[in-house]
Amino acid sequence: MQTMAVRQLVRPMQMDDIAQVMEIEQQSFPTMWPPTAFKRELEHNRLARYLAAVERRAEALRPRRMEPPPTPAPRTGLGRFLGGLRHVLAGDGALPPPEARQELVVGFVGIWLLVDEAHVVTIAVRDSHRRRGVGELLLIAAIETALRERQSVVTLECRTSNAVALRLYEKYGFQRVGLHRRYYSDNQEDAYILSASGISTPSYQRRFQRLRDEHQQRCGEYELSL
C-alpha cells in the first residue's frame, strides 16, 4: 500500500472533528464534567484557537514498529457514567473504528489569545498514539500559533505529578512561575503555572527551530496548516 509522505497534519479544528475530539477528551480526562463545549468554542469564542492533529487514512493504516501505547488506567464508575454521557452529547455512536476513518484525529490543543499572552487551555492525545511525539507536535503548533498572532509569552498549567509533561515543557523554555492550589477537581492536585517568555526573540527562535528539527528527525515529517 502506498503511504503518504506527510505523517501528520495539524490544522484548525473543524465541526466534523468534534466527535473524535470528545473521544480523546474522555480518554484523557475521564472525570471532567461538563465536557468542553467545542461547538460553542469554535463558533463563538473569538479568543480561542483549537487545533487538531490529524493522521490521514493511508498513514493511519501504515504498520509501525513502536512500543505499545500505555494501558489506560481503570475507569471508575463515575468515569464510565460520564463517558457514556459524552458519547450521547458528541453524537458519536456511528463513528467507524479508528482504522477505518478517512482522517483520524490523534490529538488536539486549545489556545486562548489574551491581552498579553497565549494561554494553552487544553492539550490531549489519543491513547493509541501516546509516546509518538504527538503531544510535542501539538506544543510546537501552539507556540507557532502564538508567534503568528504576535504574542511573546505562552502560559499553561500542568499537574505537579506529571513529570513527563514537565520535562517536555521545560525543554521548550517553560519555567515555573506560580502554583494553583487544588487546581484539578478530580483529586484536588496542585498545578504548576508555567510560562515561556520572549518566544519572538532571536535566541528563542534558534532554540525553537532546533527542537522542531529534532522532533521531525525523531518522529517523521509533519505539516502545520494554521
Q: What is the chain's mean pLDDT, rounded?
A: 87
Burial tier of 1 (Cβ tally within 10 Å: 0-12, 13-18, 19+): exposed
CB 28 within 8 A of CB 116: no
Alpha-carbon torsion (223, 19, 29, 153), positive or negative: positive
The span from the CA of 161 to the CA of 186, in Å, is 14
- Active site residues per annotation: 157, 169
Find the domain containing 194 and state its range. 8-224
**Residue 56: what pLDDT?**
85
Q: Is residue 2 part of a domain?
A: no
Convert the pLDDT of each residue in 70-116 to its tens digit. 455 555 655 554 555 554 454 556 789 988 888 999 999 999 999 99
Please tell me the least confidently modeled range out of 80-94, 167-181, 202-216: 80-94
The domain tally of the chain equals: 1
Cis peptide before 63 (omega within 30 of 0): no
CATH number at residue 49: 3.40.630.30
**Residue 204: what pLDDT?**
99
66: pLDDT strictly greater than 80: no
Query: Do β-strands 118-125 and 153-159 pair in parallel, antiparallel, or remain unpaired?
Result: parallel
